[in-house]
Amino acid sequence: MAIVIRTDESGVNMNIPRNLRELLTASEKKYGDRPAFVAKDDDGSESCITYSRLKKDAESLGTALIYSLGLKGKKVAVMGENSYFWCLSYLALTGGAGIAVPVDRETPAEELRNIIDFAGIEGVICDGKSAVKLLSEALYTENDIRIICTENVKGTLFFDDLLRKGENLIAEGKRDYFSAEIQEDSMAVLLFTSGTTGMSKGVMLSHRNLISDLVAVSEKVKIDENDRTLSVLPLHHTYEAISFLMVIYSGGSVAFSESLRTLKEDFAFYRPTAFVTVPLLLEKIHKRIMGVIEEQGKRKKVQFFSVISSAVSEEKRRKIFSDVHSFFGGRLNKIVVGAAALQKEVAEDFIMFGIPVIIGYGLTECSPIVICNSTENITPDSIGKPLDGVEIKIESPDEKGIGEICVKGPMVMLGYFKNRAATDEVLKDGFLHTGDLGYRDKNGNYHITGRKKNVIVTKNGKNIYPEEIEYYLLRNSVIADVMVYAEDDSILSAQIIPDTAEIERKLKKSALTDQDIHKAVIEAVRSTNRKLPSYKSIKKVNLRNRDFIRTSTKKIKRDEKENKE
């Protein structure tokens, strides 16, 4: 990656950092006393962690990990709910102490044991819930790992004590953390994927991978020191991790949502300007907003405005839909969506509301974003154009131009940890074979049609992309979620979660019978079937009263047996 020389207004050199420690150092120098992280205190007031404090804490934690625990250059897992401690631990490790291994705190004990053994993890920085899991399963005795906990849990090292110890060690002249040499192409992070199909693999990402991605994305998605993001997605997923790193790089601030149940209250308190999310969550928020509009009898007014909105300024749209903006705290000016396909109508409606929706595409193996819309050029029906420095090719396209998306660029992973065969299977001639299918339109924008592994081939040789049919089914408001698949006898089937609240509203009934729900869903499926070729018609419907088993970014795990029952 070429280093671009930039200067700020005072002429301070703003070279693009070569590693994550340089990133933090540069941001602290420029944004020192500005808030990097904000939180809600017990008394309801807002407190903050400044860039200067963040850098000092990272240096203290890194020094303690090296001198007190002997973890220099070792792999250390970071697990727990989204918090300042999580981000601090990530930055301290990648800044010269060791290798960060983000782990989902909901990982079952047996899988966690496998990750610890396979990766050779020698330390875990975690919250109280995760510490109890480790202690109860005796994982720490089997593997002789050090457990550092943010809460005072018996049998663990207290995180705050370690920070203070690091401060004292620095005062005594211990400088190994500061002088640690960091190679751009050395592994910074080891991520175990939670894919929709197959077993998880350890993705090795270097400093160059991460820095090149966040810099390239920052050129398209404009974030500055006036921005604040509300972190909702799990930080152990690289999509959310790169988002917080972009904020640190750009001088903004990060707030953490307490939970999905408190999302509305969190929006009201923190008043974010940017929101990074996944389609499932945004579609649920959209459905809630449209339900309120329906209840207020404003549906026709909104439909009329959607026709003329392109001729109305964004400022005026924000005034017209002030109630929508109030839901998000009143300052939201961009929504970034990735990890799966978003319904075009949802993106268009938010743009109509005066909130641009920036759609991107990527995967863990690419740090993760490689194709993205830009703040200035939004195409709600596509994932946009490749980032600077990224080369995309469509391999073996069919008559419609649909083929496998292959990616080359500085953000492509080093490889899979201890798995040369799997690495060679996806990395060929410098290109990463993503397993995703898509095409490039005449304007140079890319579109995703589905996963290569998910394609259903009919007896007469027709290719069916289940994601396409799911997209059309989800346009029916009575369907909350769906998974399309072929049963052993090649019958095209759909597992459907009904939206009972929407059915109640449509039928104007407060108590639904099973027959009411079944009838509403079947009619929605029939309506969709009429719009599709006969070979794409859903022949069998199974109603679900429980959610699907999902990945951490809410994708459905298609190979899970329970998702087809």
DSSP 428: E
Q: Are residues 412 and 557 in the same domain?
A: no
Q: Is the pLDDT of residue 339 over 80?
A: no
pLDDT at 2 (0 to 100): 34
Does residue 198 register a pLDDT over 50? no
Do 284 and 414 fall into the same domain? Answer: yes
pLDDT of residue 1: 32
**Pair 127, 153 in one domain:** yes
Packed helices 299-308 and 344-353: angle between N→C axes, nearest 10 degrees: 90
Q: Is it the case that residue 57 has pLDDT exceeding 90? A: yes
Sole residue written with tokens 């339109």: 441
Q: Rounded distance, CA 26 to CA 7, Å?
A: 12
Q: 3-class SS at 211? A: helix
497 vs 317, residue with greater confidence: 497
Tell me, what's the pLDDT at 89?
A: 98
pLDDT computed for residue 264 by the predictor: 93
| CB neighbour list of residue 189: distance below 8 Å, 6 or more residues apart | 90, 94, 99, 100, 101, 102, 204, 205, 210, 238, 241
C-alpha span between 56 and 21 (Å, rounded): 12
Confidence of residue 520 (pLDDT cuts 50, 70, 90): very high
In this structure, what are the phi and psi dihedrals at residue 419, rounded to the nearest 5 degrees?
Answer: -145, 75
pLDDT band (50, 70, 90) for residue 12: very low
What is the distance of C-alpha 150 from the center of its chain? 24
pLDDT in tens, 265-281: 999 999 999 999 988 89
Question: Taking all residues of the chain, what is their mean pLDDT, rounded to a whole number?
Answer: 89
| Segments in 417-510 forming alpha helices (H) | 420-426, 466-473, 500-507
Same domain, 285 and 414: yes
Q: Mean pLDDT, to the nearest integer, of 510-539?
A: 91
Question: Does any domain span residue 488?
Answer: yes
Asked whether the predicted pLDDT for residue 46 surpasses 60, the reply is yes
Same domain, 286 and 377: yes
Predicted confidence (pLDDT) per residue in 489-514, tens digit: 678 999 999 999 889 988 888 888 99
The average pLDDT across 330-343 equals 88
Q: Does residue 321 share a domain with residue 257?
A: yes
Q: Are 27 and 17 in contact (CB under 8 A)?
A: no
- The whole-number pLDDT of residue 196 equals 38
- Counting residues of the chain whose pLDDT is more than 90, the rounded percentage is 65
* 228 and 243 Cβ atoms separated by less than 8 Å: no
For residue 143, what pLDDT band results from cuts at 50, 70 and 90? low
Same domain, 525 and 390: no
Query: CA–CA separation, 395 vs 402, rounded Å?
Result: 8
Q: Are residues 177 and 112 in the same domain?
A: yes
**Whether residue 142 sits in one domain with residue 87:** yes
**Lowest-confidence segment of 37-46, 158-167, 464-473 by average pLDDT:** 464-473
Arithmetic mean of pLDDT, 448-456: 85
Q: Do the domain assignments include residue 247?
A: no
Query: How many angstroms separate the CA atoms of 504 and 535, rounded?
Result: 32
User: Taking 50 as the threshold, does the pLDDT of residue 180 lie above it?
Assistant: yes
Burial class of residue 518 (count of CB atoms within 10 Å of its CB; 0-12, 13-18, 19+): middle
Peptide bond preceding 108: is omega within 30 degrees of 0, i.e. cis? no
- Which of residues 119, 154, 182 is at a domain's end? 182
Same domain, 271 and 399: yes
Calculate mean pLDDT across residues 49-60. 98
Indicate the residue among 182, 202, 234 that finishes a domain.
182
Residue 200, domain member (yes or no): no
147 sits in which H/E element: strand 146-149
pTM of the model: 0.85
Q: What is the pLDDT of residue 307?
A: 65
Query: Domain ends where: 182, 199, 214?
Result: 182
Q: Looking at residue 388, which CATH number applies to its domain?
A: 3.40.50.12780
- What is the sign, positive or negative, of the torsion defined by CA atoms of 20, 21, 22, 27? positive
Query: Do 314 and 402 lie in a common domain?
Result: yes
Cis before 368? omega within 30:
yes
Q: How far is CA 232 from the centre of its chain?
A: 9
Q: Which pLDDT belongs to residue 225?
A: 96
E-state strands within 159-247: 187-192, 202-206, 228-231
Which two tokens mark 550? 């999902």
Lowest mean pLDDT among 7-16, 253-262, 451-460: 7-16
Number of domains in the chain: 3
pLDDT at 199: 54
Residue predicted with more confidence, 321 or 100: 100
Quick one: 394 and 477 in the same domain?
A: no
Lowest mean pLDDT among 1-10, 297-306, 336-345: 1-10
pLDDT tens per residue across span 209-245:
999 999 999 999 999 999 999 999 999 999 999 999 9
Domain with 560 in it: 455-564
CA distance readout (Å), 423 to 192, 245, 405, 433: 14, 26, 17, 10
- Can you tell me the distance from the alpha carbon of 413 to that of 422, in angstroms, rounded to the nearest whole number? 13
Give residue for tokens 């404009």. 222
Dihedral of the alpha carbons of 318, 321, 327, 330, in degrees to the nearest 10: 20
End-to-end CA distance of the chain: 48
Tell me: pLDDT of 389 over 80. Answer: yes
